[in-house]
A and B are shown apart, each in its own frame.
Chain A
Amino acid sequence: MSSATSVAEEIVDYDEALERYDPVMGLEVHVELNTATKMFCGCATGFGADPNSQVCPVCLGLPGALPVVNEKAVESAIRIGLALNCEIAEWCRFARKNYFYPDMPKNFQTSQYDEPIAFEGHLDVELGDGTTYRVEIERAHMEEDTGKSLHIGGATGRIHGADHSLVDYNRAGIPLIEIVTKPLTGAGKRAPEVAKAYVGALRELLRALGVSDVKMEQGSLRCDANVSLRPRATGDQSQDDVPLGTRTETKNVNSLRSVERAVRYEITRHAAILDRGDKITQETRHWHEDTGVTTSGREKSDAEDYRYFPEPDLVPVAPTRETVEMLRGTLPEAPGERRRRLQNDWGYSDLEMRDVMNAGAVALIEETVAAGATPAGARKWWTGELARRANVEGRSVEEFGVTPAHIAELDRLVRDGRLNDSMARQVLEGVIAGEGAPTEVADARGLELVQDDGALEAAVDKVIEANAEVAQKVRDGKVQAAGALIGQVMKEMKGQADAGKARELILAKLS
């Protein structure tokens, strides 16, 4: 039974679920590499091109066409493997994963099976409470992406109920790296946070490696979350001795926040089923960002048979140790080291740095600072206004179309005294609304601090005259009373004045 209609399923309270069950996760992350050409042919890989404009006999799977491995993609795979502290295979092969689907041109996917390019690694991720969780990596392997089906005429955009379907093969053959963790145990209550922190850390790492655009909303980073529950160990039983439960695999998890929410949801859903004494169905689940629930996809039995066998059209990949060491030399610094260095460079407190990490904004701030912003300014916008909005809207900060260059420009406008804080917020609104870069938005919206000291002075005089009592308090040395006057002046100036300057003027006149 697999129905696409979403029926609200019973769930239990998260904390209750955790009292009775121990969650175990397995995370599979697909990363689209940003190589100029596809995995096995010379076609371009740019996002958003006209449908079927980036195709050739090879990636269309025309009869007779043959694949040739993209050496750049292999290099990226090795660098990812090394950055994840993996072993790199001395010799490995591609394999064919056979199944029929219209968006797969050859009806097999060229992938890797029992001989992945990288295996046995780990990634340490920092959690909100300052502790570190080690995510053990089972493997990272190379494969090609499939095409994309577009179902026309149905209500859901799914194949069910559609009139007809169109397939765009531009994505077919784009190099993918699939990174698979070992079963993640011992996270307990923090399991959803670990999932989010891992995907976030992975994204930072991949961005630092420069191997992918890592845009979750465009699908260049995709996460499938496997979740299972097992009973809490009792007595002197060790939790490790309790066998794993049946897992579900949640697909379509397209933001960091969703990773956390989806894992959390599945834990509460599994717990409800197990509480009833029922069995978990091993299946694929679809995550619905809007409703925050998962629904049943296709049932996935152990009998699903992809008839893997070594790809006879490709020769084995056998990177020499010299090549591997050369690539190791190109790795960016380890995430922990990098974090410490940046925190030091930027002068952030531990708490501030953790906020930055939690917002997944380390690389963004780095780029923003590189574009000319002050570290404080960069942090303020990415972890303040943008993170708040992202949280409210359930999106990631990158999805707003705001770039590090925008924030650097905004920061400069504030520092140059052209905008005050509330005006800068309005400008940011405009940037998010697609009105252009900060200066353009400020110009178009007529946002600019009044630089005419005459006007400001007149306003100050007017306010002092109208508030003689408050003015006297300031004269008597109660400097904090000036705040009320400053507010009045700003009001008088319709917000278009520099509050600092107003304060200076008031204090000068009342001294």
Chain B
Amino acid sequence: MNTDPTRLSAAELAHAIASKELSSVEVVQAHLDRIAAVDADVHAFLHVDGAGALDAARAVDERRASGEDLHVLAGVPIAVKDVMATKGLPTTCGSKILEGWIPPYDATLVSRLKAAGMPILGKTNMDEFAMGSSTEHSAYGPTHNPWDLTRIPGGSGGGSSAVVAAYEAPLAIGTDTGGSIRQPASVTGTVGVKPTYGGVSRYGLVALASSLDQAGPCTRTVLDAALLHSVIGGHDPMDSTSINAPVPSVVEAARRADVKGLKVGVIKELGGEGYQAGVRARFDESVTLLQEAGAEVVEVSCPSFDYALAAYYLILPSEASSNLAKFDAMRYGLRVLPEGIEDPSAEQVMAATRDAGFGDEVKRRIILGTYALSSGYYDAYYGQAQKVRRLIANDFSTAFEQVDVLVSPTAPTTAFKLGDKLDDPMSMYLQDVATIPANLAGVPGMSLPSGLADEDGLPTGIQILAPATQDERLYNVGAALEKMLVDRWGGPLLAKAPQLTAKGA
């Protein structure tokens, strides 16, 4: 077994800790050392809680020593996207407006991690309020892609994917509103899963777009994602939109990894124009592998998907404009007094704070959403977008009558250079063209590495989609494909990533 704990998968770590080959404290310390060594370059963490993680690790080790029956992932550390409320730990959502805010409560998901005995290493970087596909919209500076530090790690959850790609954490929590787990997974050569909407509690997830947001696992293997999914999933009475049903048997599915006789649909509308050649080539190879493993592959048309991006950029800003209204300097976070106004009114303080505290992308979407919800425009924008949303859901229903899962490339390109698309929001938005339909329909999706693009040597991803509540299909198909690809590569894709060297070492 590899002697460096940071190179082990979460499943391997769990086994090593359970069999007392490694203590949780050793595992946590190894990751803290790794963070200290590489995060100055990667900048995936906004806040590292070394003391808290070690305390939690020590507690788990003690409980294990006393013979307690512990959760399978007990002692395995994790990083959490800075959009989840963590009691006593800063939660900024990548925004200046929440600088210094320490939540007095834990998100349900965070409580579940703690209950499972998983030490929290810290909070990961993200585009401000999860608006973006590159982390360049973080108010605290971008995260760098561990494959090439001059490139973006995807977004909004670039931090969570980068920490697992850079071996700074075996597991991380991401959130996915239009692809913020899957697109970063794709461009960092990692695995990311957006569960069925309602599959994981949103209580404590600082909302971007309530009807689209969903938290999920960011990992290096499909099995690790399944293990984490079963910790965080399941009904939560604090979230009305949470599904009142047991978590799908995802771990079992990941272990089964058998696609024989399954019907796989290739989405005609996703993968043509605008998709990088290397992305397309690796995708086609993956589909061929599935076919060779006994799956039946057919092409499926989802015509409404062409309108998904437009509908998404009306629904998301509409909800966001309302969700972000609470950041008004009255109760928490930043407070800025307007210049040159003596004795300002509450409204003037709100305006000055929001002006200083929100970045340009956030303001852009607030303005867009405010406009789309305005009387006289509501029907034409928000109303129409909701109709498109229903059509997209219908396309999925029709497709899933013919096939068990759908597949497409996750993102149209590999990681682009930092700064390349900052002045071109539309081209940035197009990064999520393939991932958005799943959020609009609430169906689960997974991205896993499909290889490296010939033209730039950077990771590419394949997306698997399943019907709502059938998340286990993602894990079954994903694990099967992963196994064939890893065999073909002669090891995990991440082994091909350049070594990050410790700064000053």
Contact = CB atoms under 8 A, between A and B. Distances in A.
A455 interface: no
Nearest to A97: B322
30 contacts: A57-B85, A62-B104, A63-B91, A63-B98, A63-B101, A63-B326, A63-B327, A64-B91, A64-B203, A64-B207, A66-B203, A66-B240, A68-B240, A96-B322, A98-B373, A100-B328, A106-B326, A107-B326, A165-B346, A305-B374, A305-B375, A307-B321, A307-B374, A308-B373, A309-B322, A309-B378, A313-B210, A314-B240, A315-B240, A315-B241
B322 A64 contact: no
Given A105-B326, A108-B322, A309-B382, A64 B84 contact: yes
A244 interface: no
Interface residues of B, number: 44
B332 interface: yes
A66 B239 contact: yes
B105 interface: yes
Nearest to A69: B240
A402 B98 CA distance: 51
Given A307-B374, A309-B322, A312-B211, A64 B205 contact: yes
A64 B206 CA distance: 4
Contacts of A106: 325-326
Interface string A173-200: 0000000000000000000000000000
Contacts of A308: 373
Interface of B: 84-85, 91, 93, 98, 101, 103-105, 107, 202-207, 209-211, 237-241, 318-319, 321-322, 325-328, 330-332, 346-347, 350, 370, 373-375, 378, 382
A300 to B, nearest CB: 14
A372 interface: no
Contact of B85 (A64, A68, A96, A314): A64
B379 to A, nearest CB: 12
Interface of A: 57, 60-69, 96, 98, 100, 102, 105-108, 165, 167, 305, 307-309, 312-315
A116 B188 CA distance: 48
Given A64-B205, A65-B203, A108-B325, A57 B240 contact: no
Contacts of B204: 64-65
Nearest to A315: B240
Nearest to B236: A66
A313 B207 contact: yes
A107 B382 CA distance: 20
Given A63-B91, A63-B98, A68 B375 contact: no
B196 to A, nearest CB: 15
Given A63-B85, A64-B85, A313-B241, A100 B350 contact: yes
Contact of B346 (A61, A63, A102): A102
A65 B330 CA distance: 17
Contacts of A96: 322
Contacts of A69: 240
Contact of A68 (B84, B91, B238, B318): B238
A248 B466 CA distance: 55
A68 B236 CA distance: 11
Nearest to A167: B330
Contacts of A60: 331
Contacts of B240: 66-69, 313-315
Contacts of B91: 63-64
Given A64-B91, A305-B375, 17 more contacts: A62-B85, A62-B331, A63-B85, A63-B206, A64-B205, A64-B207, A68-B237, A68-B238, A69-B240, A98-B321, A100-B347, A107-B326, A108-B325, A307-B375, A312-B241, A314-B240, A315-B240
Q: Considering residues B205, B328, B330, B382, which has the most beta carbons from chain A within 10 angstroms of its beta carbon?
A: B330
A62 B98 CA distance: 11
Contact of A57 (B104, B207, B239, B327): B104
Given A69-B240, A106-B325, A309-B322, A64 B103 contact: yes
Contacts of A165: 346
A68 B108 CA distance: 14
A307 B370 contact: yes
B195 to A, nearest CB: 17
A60 B202 CA distance: 17
Q: Considering residues B101, B105, B347, which has the most beta carbons from chain A within 10 angstroms of its beta carbon?
A: B105
A108 B239 CA distance: 19
Contacts of B327: 63
Contact of A107 (B206, B328, B373): B328
Q: Considering residues A57, A69, A312, which has the most beta carbons from chain B within 10 angstroms of its beta carbon?
A: A312
A313 B370 CA distance: 18
A106 B238 CA distance: 17
Contacts of A68: 237-240
Contacts of B321: 98, 307
A307 B237 CA distance: 29
A69 B237 CA distance: 11
B473 to A, nearest CB: 25
Q: Considering residues B107, B206, B325, B347, which has the most beta carbons from chain A within 10 angstroms of its beta carbon?
A: B325
A195 B132 CA distance: 55
Q: Considering residues A63, A67, A165, A312, which has the most beta carbons from chain B within 10 angstroms of its beta carbon?
A: A63
A309 B317 CA distance: 12
Nearest to B212: A312
A286 B200 CA distance: 48
Closest 6 CB pairs of A and B: A107-B325, A307-B373, A312-B210, A312-B211, A64-B85, A64-B204
B388 to A, nearest CB: 16
B372 to A, nearest CB: 9
A69 to B, nearest CB: 7
Contacts of B93: 63
Nearest to A165: B346
A309 B319 CA distance: 9
Nearest to A316: B240
Contact of B103 (A63, A100, A315): A63
B324 to A, nearest CB: 9
A142 B305 CA distance: 37
B326 A98 contact: no
Nearest to B85: A64
A100 B332 CA distance: 16
B350 to A, nearest CB: 6
Contacts of A105: 326, 331
Contacts of B374: 305, 307
Contacts of B101: 63
A64 B332 CA distance: 13
A313 B239 CA distance: 8
Given A63-B93, A64-B205, A315-B240, A98 B322 contact: yes
Nearest to A107: B325
Contacts of B205: 64
Contacts of B237: 68
Nearest to B105: A57
A93 B84 CA distance: 27
B390 to A, nearest CB: 13
A61 B326 contact: yes
Contact of A312 (B319, B325, B370): B319
A307 B322 contact: yes
Contacts of B238: 66, 68
Contacts of A67: 240
Nearest to B93: A63
Contact of B202 (A66, A107, A108, A307): A66
Contacts of B202: 66
Contacts of B350: 100
Contacts of A107: 325-326, 328
Contacts of B105: 57, 62, 65
B343 to A, nearest CB: 9
Nearest to A103: B330
Q: Considering residues A67, A100, A167, which has the most beta carbons from chain B within 10 angstroms of its beta carbon?
A: A100
Nearest to A313: B210
A450 to B, nearest CB: 65
Contacts of B241: 312-315
A164 B235 CA distance: 44
